[in-house]
Amino acid sequence: MAKKAELLEQAKALKLDVSEKNTIAQIEEAIAGAEKHEVREASVAKAGKRSQKSLEEAEEKAEKEARKEAGDTTAQDPEAEEGRKKGPAPKVRPLSERRGKQYRAVAEKVDKTKHYTLADAVALAVETNPSKFDASVEVHVRLGVDPRQADQNIRATVALPHGTGRTVRVAVFAPSDQHEAAKKAGADVVGDDDFLRQLDKEDLNFDVLVATPQYMPRLGKYARTLGPKGLMPNPKSGTVSADVAKAVSEAKTGKVEYRVDKQAIVHLSIGKVSFGADKILENAKAFFASLSSQKPGSLKGNYVLTTTITTTMGPGIKVENQ
């Protein structure tokens, strides 16, 4: 019995499921099997997944995953810890201080907390032009529309009384009997089949393309070339017309297209600084009159949210909503 008691104590230490009901032979067999299993588990293969190297790599990977889940980002290598840069974080200057001297000088004339009248904003924009070249005067209007809705995707044209100050190159794609009239109206490029050969070479030396309705299907092949550059003729912009001479005259004298972008903002150049405040103001009034007429009937809420006028490189001037 003393031997059986010793075997039971040994089995208990190995956490074996045996009791006094088992015979001495059964207990000895269970103990031998457990010891053999321990030896097999402790053995390490020379190569493969059971090799010492593989076991260490698996253990290291498990530790990394545990640190990652715990959010521990401290360096484990002492040398890496010593090589880390210490000291205060670098100071970043405000954007206003990183601007040029001329910009900062004219920006002081603009009260950022004030909304100016349209006339005052135009006059101040001309006064605060920091560039040496004849800069454009731009108007940026954020609308309360959803451009994803077809009836709220604002797109229209406006004839600016004094033009934009840019030299507009107009191309005409029309039958040969209208070529002479288009040239007299001021078209820079006029053609038929020869114009299509020019498009095949992707020679787009024009800013506006006017086409007749019957010739529009022939331009479908070039939609991927003309579309991204905004050169595809469109009836809404007045560039698809049976009277090409009239369309060319309007494009030359200051008829421009504007449309809302994905952020529901309309951007438009309304003249050059050299125009003077009075002419730019007349162009601005013509634009806002056109924009007001495009208000969707289904719109709920405010149509115009914010309005800003600026020059090409000048500070933005907040304007009272027109």
The verdict on 270 and 149 lying in the same domain is yes
User: In this structure, is residue 138 part of a structural domain?
Assistant: yes
pLDDT digits over 271-280, tens only? 999 999 999 9
Answer whether 103's CB lies under 8 Å from 314's CB: yes
Q: What is the bridge-based pairing of β-strands 304-311 and 317-319?
A: antiparallel
Q: What is the DSSP annotation of 270-307?
A: EEEGGG-HHHHHHHHHHHHHHHHHT--TT--S-SEEEE
The residue-averaged pLDDT of 247-262 equals: 86
Both 53 and 157 in a single domain? no
Is 110 in the same domain as 242? no
Residue 78 in any domain: the answer is no
Same domain, 130 and 261: yes
Task: Give the Cα-Cα-Cα angle 282, 283, 287 (nearest 5 degrees).
Answer: 115
Most confident of the ranges 34-38, 41-45, 64-68: 64-68
Residues 265 and 304 in one domain: yes
The predicted pLDDT at position 287 comes to 94
Q: Transcribe 16-39 into DSSP letters.
A: ----TTS-HHHHHHHHHHHHHHHH
pLDDT given for residue 202 in this prediction: 84
Percent of the chain topping pLDDT 90: 25
Whichever domain contains 105, its CATH number is 3.30.190.20
At residue 39, the pLDDT reads: 45
Are the C-beta atoms of 28 and 3 separated by less than 8 Å?
no
Asked, for residue 158, whether it belongs to a domain, the answer is yes
Closest Cα partner for 238 from 290, 313, 304, 295? Answer: 290
Q: Confirm whether 79 is domain-assigned.
A: no
Please state whether the predicted TM-score (pTM) of the whole model is above 0.95.
Answer: no
pLDDT in tens, 154-198: 988 888 888 888 888 899 999 888 898 888 888 888 988 888 888
What's the chain's Rg over C-alpha atoms? 39
Which of 211, 227, 253 terminates a domain? The answer is: 253
Q: Which domain holds residue 45?
A: 2-73
Residue 184: CATH number of its domain: 3.40.50.790
pLDDT band at 121 (very low <50, low <70, confident <90, very high): very high
Please check whether residue 34 lies inside any domain of the structure: yes
Q: What is the mean pLDDT of residues 117-136?
A: 92
Contact partners, residue 38, CB within 8 Å, separation at least 6: none
| 182 and 149 share one domain | no
3-state secondary structure of 157: strand
**What's the mean pLDDT when you consider all of the chain?**
84
- Do 141 and 282 lie in a common domain? yes
**Residue 151 belongs to a domain:** yes
Q: Which two tokens stand for residue 73?
A: 């980002």
pLDDT digits (tens, 9 = 90+) for 66-118: 878 877 766 666 555 545 556 677 788 777 677 888 888 888 899 888 999 99
Q: With CA atoms as reference, report the closest residue to 222 among 257, 191, 198.
A: 198
For residues 7 and 31, is the Cβ–Cβ distance under 8 A?
Answer: yes
| Shared domain check, 266 and 247 | no
End of a domain among 231, 253, 275?
253
Q: Let me know: does 164 contact 269? Beta carbons within 8 Å.
A: yes
The structural domain count of the chain equals 3
Residue 230 lies in a domain: yes
| Same domain (yes/no): 45, 25 | yes
Instruction: Label residue 35 by pLDDT band (50, 70, 90).
Output: low
Q: Is residue 144 domain-resident?
A: yes
Tokens, residue 230? 């905004």
